[in-house]
């Protein structure tokens, strides 16, 4: 049987803040004798003195300070648990995790996040960024609850609902000093094979990794996200396709050159998706917000601002 209760911890914490048993009794709406009895019994049960008494004033002993230091974590955890239980009863999830592809700007969700906090019943929000099949992997592996921008169609087998959000065009680019920049004809496999491609690594853990536009035997520099790919292409470390909204400002500034290729990349469709059968209040709010709030248009970086928003 535990000798320490949350009620006793709350009393100890209140006494420490108020500096006296009487002050704690007043704050907790209890008679002073109840406060004194609780402290004395806890000291007897633990076999330690928690307070030094100086008339009506008291101070924590070293043992009391250690008890309160750790006890405050327990009090906060208990309070959080109570809130979570009430939130579940009200229909609001304790936490909702949103997943999005690394092409998209999480910073663009600011107005949506602020609107969510204005209505959510203390539901914690978590943003997860994945690449390629990693977004779908995160949804099916329950690492996220809603995809607010997943690249490409989801895997076969069902278990989720998906709706297209929008599309992004891609352009093939190289740095002005890259050897491919000097070629004037549309680039084919023979032109590309001698040089290094830069690709975003698929972050999938369970689903099969997706590879986009790489040639067999191609030297490849794999990077964790689209922002890194963009920066390395500007530096001339390799070539590849970039979202038009990222590439166009750099092309206009002379940082990149757009090249025509024999096999262009098709426009990429991004999806809103969630697991079937789930209907928490926070999930419903975000689905409706993404359908009607114009978030996807903001999540693709502004062509005039470049790829700064990540």
pLDDT over 90 at 82, yes or no: no
Q: What is the tens place of the pLDDT at every residue in 50-61?
A: 999 888 888 999
| Residue 106 near residue 113, CB atoms below 8 Å | no
Q: What ranges in 91-211 are assigned the alpha helix state H?
A: 110-119, 134-140, 189-192
With a cut of 70, say whether residue 303 has pLDDT above it: no
Residue 173 neighbours by CB under 8 Å, 6+ apart: 233, 239, 240, 241, 242, 247, 250, 251, 256, 257, 258, 259
pLDDT digits (tens, 9 = 90+) for 8-32: 888 988 998 888 989 989 888 899 8
pLDDT in tens, 119-162: 987 789 999 999 988 999 999 989 999 999 999 888 888 889 99
Report the first-to-last Cα separation within the chain, whole angstroms: 52
Check: CB of residue 221 under 8 Å from CB of residue 301.
no
Contacts of 90 (CB under 8 A, 6+ apart): 121, 281
Return the pLDDT at 208.
63
Name the band, by pLDDT with cuts 50, 70 and 90, for residue 304.
very low
The pLDDT of residue 256 is above 90? yes
Task: State the burial class of residue 256 (Cβ atoms within 10 Å of its Cβ: 0-12, 13-18, 19+).
Answer: buried
| Average pLDDT of the chain to the nearest whole number | 87
Cα(179)–Cα(259) distance, rounded to whole angstroms? Answer: 12
- How high is the pLDDT of residue 309? 40
pLDDT of residue 210: 56
Per-residue pLDDT tens over the stretch 228-253: 999 999 999 999 999 999 899 999 99
- CA–CA separation, 160 and 272 (whole Å): 10
Please state the rounded mean pLDDT for residues 223-232.
Answer: 92
pTM: 0.67
Q: Which domains does the chain have, with CATH numbers?
A: 6-89 (1.10.10.10), 95-167+269-308 (3.40.190.10), 170-258 (3.40.190.290)
């Amino acid at each position: 049987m535990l000798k320490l209760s949350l009620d006793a911890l709350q009393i100890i914490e209140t006494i420490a803040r108020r500096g006296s048993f009487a002050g704690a009794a007043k704050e907790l709406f209890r008679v002073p004798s109840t406060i004194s009895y609780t402290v004395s019994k806890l000291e007897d049960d633990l076999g330690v003195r928690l307070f030094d008494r100086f008339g009506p004033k008291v101070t924590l002993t070293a043992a009391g300070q250690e008890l309160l230091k750790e006890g405050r974590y327990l009090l906060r955890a208990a309070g959080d648990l109570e809130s979570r239980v009430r939130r579940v009863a009200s229909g609001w999830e304790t936490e909702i995790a949103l997943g999005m592809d690394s092409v998209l700007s999480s910073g663009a969700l600011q107005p949506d996040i602020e609107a969510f906090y204005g209505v959510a019943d203390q539901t914690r929000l978590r943003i997860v960024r994945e690449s390629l099949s990693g977004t779908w992997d995160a949804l099916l592996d329950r690492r996220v609850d809603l995809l607010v921008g997943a690249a490409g169609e989801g895997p076969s087998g069902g278990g989720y609902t998906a709706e297209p959000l929008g599309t992004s065009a891609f352009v093939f680019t190289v740095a002005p000093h890259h050897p491919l920049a000097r070629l004037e004809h549309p680039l084919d496999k023979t032109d590309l094979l001698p040089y290094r491609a830069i690709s975003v690594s698929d972050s999938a853990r369970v689903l099969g990794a997706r590879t986009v536009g790489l040639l067999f035997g191609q030297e490849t520099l794999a990077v964790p996200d689209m922002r890194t790919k963009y920066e390395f292409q500007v530096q001339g470390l390799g070539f590849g396709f970039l979202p038009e909204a990222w590439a166009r400002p750099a092309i206009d500034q002379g940082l990149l050159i757009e090249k025509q290729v024999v096999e262009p990349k098709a426009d990429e469709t991004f999806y809103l998706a969630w697991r079937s059968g789930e209907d928490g209040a926070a999930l419903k709010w975000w689905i409706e917000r993404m359908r009607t709030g114009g978030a996807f248009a903001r999540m693709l970086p502004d062509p005039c601002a470049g790829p700064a928003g990540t």
